[in-house]
Amino acid sequence: MKTRMRVLAGAFALGALTLLSPGRSPACTSGCTRNLPEVGPIVMKSYDWDNRDGIVVLNQTHIHKTAVGVSNPKKWVSKYFSVTFNQWGMQMPMGGMNEKGLVVEIMKVGDFKESGTSAELAKRDFPTKKEGREALNQLQWVQYILDMAGDLDEAKTLAEEKVYAVPHFSVVGVKAFDIDPVHYLVCDVNAECRIFEYKRKKLLVTKKRSWDGLPTKTFAKGAFPFGTDHVSSSHDLVETPMVPVLANNYIYTDGMCLEKYLEVPDGTKCKTVHDCHEACKEMKKADSTRRFVFAAKKLNAVPAGLHTPAEAAHYGFEELTPEVCNGDTQWQIIYLPKSMDVYWKSIEDCKPKHKSRGHVNLHAAMDGAASCRTGKEIVVYDLDGSIDGEAYHKIKYPTLKYPTLTKINSQALYENFRHGRNKTPNLTKIKGDPSGAEADVHRSTALSVVQMTSFHCKKSD
């Protein structure tokens, strides 16, 4: 294993430093509706990035896991079954939902009011070490919370007392690449959400946010929940919109601009990036706030008369996700925590890439296969069709047990490394590898081996 780890360190040290930081700056938008009478809350995610390749994984319980890519790694045994959307391999998801209806979604954070590169902001905001806590990389933080938290309070306790997130990936003590700094929206089956955000070495955790039962600040045309919010690890009290929505600016910044937007007569001025700029005079780069504002408007206006999960998913894809779509949108997800349904679509130029859509019901998926102790194989879906050729279908291999699953994981990683190399031409300049293809294979295989050997089934308590 040590030899494999050294191979991986060498593979990354030669130019993969920016693989998770594409040349453009796409990002994401997430949000939650109110608790609808029949279908419960709808949690939507619009994933904006440079490529859509990936896998959808059904993660079993009783898996013993060790965090990868960090010193002082956290170790745990998964308590809850979950479905996750993964671009960077097993146990490193971009978001998902567990059997308790807890949804965790990740958004890149980078504020127009802040100067500096993503790496500089990450160095400023994320702790390098926390006494009494163990480390996770930012993506594995998502998996840990899904594995171990049954509700928002448990998620808060785990994040504040047990772990801290690290915005880079290291191998045998050598930093292999940076991961763009992120923040998280975590929502539950009751349509309540918390935002988790690192700022100046502190983890800030908001109060529970929902559309119901909050103080309102009324404008000439319409009202949004506003209130005095305090964040853990800080005594600051700030007036923010208490909406369960998150895009890419820091919490307070998008809140400030939502307030300015609502002051505009009829609340209709901010239809374009230019108009958002006019509504928020300080803004230099307004796309995140435009998405934040429009998502808040749509999520607040969802009708109560949705009767089935299929109706809720249709409404989500037709009415909610188009509001935040842009040229970088790669896939969109609708989570329904009450019914345990998850739907997703691959997107190209703001239109569905395929006629059908992906769908998983966690209740059905767990039947006889929730725990690794059943001996049932891990179920993996092809997110877009790039792995197995059929979008949204279960990957059809003779077996999905190790090492075949390692091969699938490696193939998913390869697609991302290849895409990253195409988007970042300087990555082709690797000694002894002018074409770059061999290095992509080497990196993806080595990283997959590290990921796949970081977890195993705990056969008994």
Domain assignment present for residue 259? The answer is no
Question: For residues 11 and 200, which has the higher predicted lDDT (pLDDT)?
Answer: 200
What integer pLDDT is reported at residue 18 of this predicted model? 40
User: Taking 90 as the threshold, does the pLDDT of residue 403 lie above it?
Assistant: no
Span 299-343, pLDDT tens digits = 988 999 999 999 999 999 999 999 899 888 999 999 999 999 999
- The number of domains in the chain is 1
What integer pLDDT is reported at residue 351 of this predicted model? 92
User: Taking 60 as the threshold, does the pLDDT of residue 15 lie above it?
Assistant: no
Name the pairing type of β-strands 237-241 and 455-457.
Answer: unpaired
Question: Residue 4: in which H helix or E strand, if any?
Answer: helix 2-13
What values do phi and psi take at 274, rounded to 5? -60, -45
Domain assignment present for residue 103? The answer is yes
Domain assignment present for residue 83? The answer is yes
Q: What is the residue range of 146's domain?
A: 2-211+310-457
User: Taking 60 as the threshold, does the pLDDT of residue 222 lie above it?
Assistant: no
User: Taking 80 as the threshold, does the pLDDT of residue 189 lie above it?
Assistant: yes
Ramachandran assignment for 173, one of left (phi > 0), alpha (psi -120 to 50 degrees), beta (any other): left
Domain assignment present for residue 390? The answer is yes
What integer pLDDT is reported at residue 357 of this predicted model? 93
DSSP lists the bridge partners of residue 240 as 227
Domain assignment present for residue 99? The answer is yes
Domain assignment present for residue 412? The answer is yes
What integer pLDDT is reported at residue 129 of this predicted model? 79
Q: Which of 28-37, 113-122, 126-135, 145-154 has the lowest mean pLDDT?
A: 113-122
- Compute, in degrees rounded to 10, the torsion defined by CA atoms 218, 289, 139, 326: 130
What integer pLDDT is reported at residue 121 of this predicted model? 80
Question: For residues 418 and 378, which has the higher predicted lDDT (pLDDT)?
Answer: 378
pTM value is 0.88
- Please check whether residue 328 is in contact with residue 26, taking contact to mean a CB–CB distance below 8 angstroms: yes
Question: Residue 137: in which H helix or E strand, if any?
Answer: strand 134-137
Percent of the chain with pLDDT over 70: 72
DSSP lists the bridge partners of residue 136 as 165
Domain assignment present for residue 375? The answer is yes
Span 36-57, pLDDT tens digits = 999 999 999 999 988 888 899 9
Take residue 279 and report the two structure tokens written for it.
Answer: 């509504």
Question: For residues 450 and 311, which has the higher predicted lDDT (pLDDT)?
Answer: 311
Assign residue 86 the CATH number of its domain: 3.60.60.10
Query: In 3D, which of 205, 200, 156 has the Cα closest to residue 181?
Result: 200
Q: Which of 146-155, 176-185, 294-303 has the lowest mean pLDDT?
A: 176-185
DSSP lists the bridge partners of residue 348 as 351
What integer pLDDT is reported at residue 172 of this predicted model? 62
What values do phi and psi take at 138, rounded to 5? -60, -35
Per-residue pLDDT band for 274 (boundaries 50, 70, 90) equals low
> Mean pLDDT, the chain, as a whole number?
80
Span 201-212, pLDDT tens digits = 888 888 888 887
Question: Residue 229: in which H helix or E strand, if any?
Answer: strand 223-230
Take residue 267 and report the two structure tokens written for it.
Answer: 């609340």
In order of 8, 15, 17, 325, 444, the CA distances from 173 in angstroms are 12, 17, 15, 39, 19
The DSSP output letter for 334 is E
Domain assignment present for residue 335? The answer is yes
Cα 397 from Cα 400, distance rounded (Å): 6
Percent of the chain with pLDDT over 90: 39
Cα 387 from Cα 420, distance rounded (Å): 17
Taken in order 81, 332, 398, 401, the sign of the CA dihedral is negative
